Structure 1
Amino acid sequence: MSAATLPEGDWIRGISIKQPYAAAILAGAKTVENRTARWRTGWVLLHTSRTIDQPALRVPLISRTIRDRALVTGAVVGIARITDCHQDPAGAPPCTEWAQPNAWHLVLDDIQELPLPIPARGQLGPWRPSPDLLSQVFQQLPDFRP
């Protein structure tokens, strides 16, 4: 698939996620990403930030989820669709074991891991990927249709 066959306009963003949380998402276990602000629904490139949350590696939920997975940093490693963004009601149990209290929970579906990570720079908050980066991503996902 070439960039020419992708939709026009502002249909996809990038989201930068620290490791090991990105690996847990790609493993299919972590289906929510916690953020301090509301995000819109739609497609996102999954980008790993340059840092690894070292203390998180000792959390049993995380360590058993990411066992034997590479912790790639500074690269686009997959794509996902945000299908909902919500906060849990006060006093309610968390929507998943990965949800943090008082955070916005980005519900991730249609998660697809890239066969090869693509080195790239991300940033805080939603960011707009370049046409060249999108072209590289979708060369690896020839059957992807937004």
Structure 2
Amino acid sequence: MDIYKILTKLPHRYPFLLVDRVLEIDKGKTIKALKNVTINEPFFQGHFPYRPVMPGVLMLEALAQAAALLAFDAMESAATDDTVYYFAGMEGVRFKRPVEPGDQLILEVALLRMKAGIFKFQSRALVDGDVAVEAELTCAIRKIA
């Protein structure tokens, strides 16, 4: 799935779209996607000027966006103007290595279960085969009132 297809599935846009390409997807089971991390990312100006490091919460957000693509694919749908895809929880979050400009973040997400618009995922992001972050994510799709 290239960036043009991703843009039809996710509501996120610059500077908050954190998935550049989907490499593999096994419908309703797993997704493997990537985020190219460049020095042009706006967060690097302040995090940190002397040693740029991708904020951990943005690594988790990238995983959640990959998870959303997996969820939408499983439901054969996309985000719409009347729905929002929320984080509902994170468990077992572990940061293992920093992510810096020039790294390619490989996002791996597995769907553990889904029921009534609530999804549970096992996820991890890797750089050069090394785990940068891992977490169990809970996300929910809700209609906007």
Normalising by structure 2, we get a TM-score of 0.25
Q: Which has the higher strand share?
A: 2
Q: Specify which structure has the bigger relative contact order, considering alpha-carbon pairs within 8 angstroms and separated by 6 or more residues.
A: 1
Normalising by structure 1, we get a TM-score of 0.25
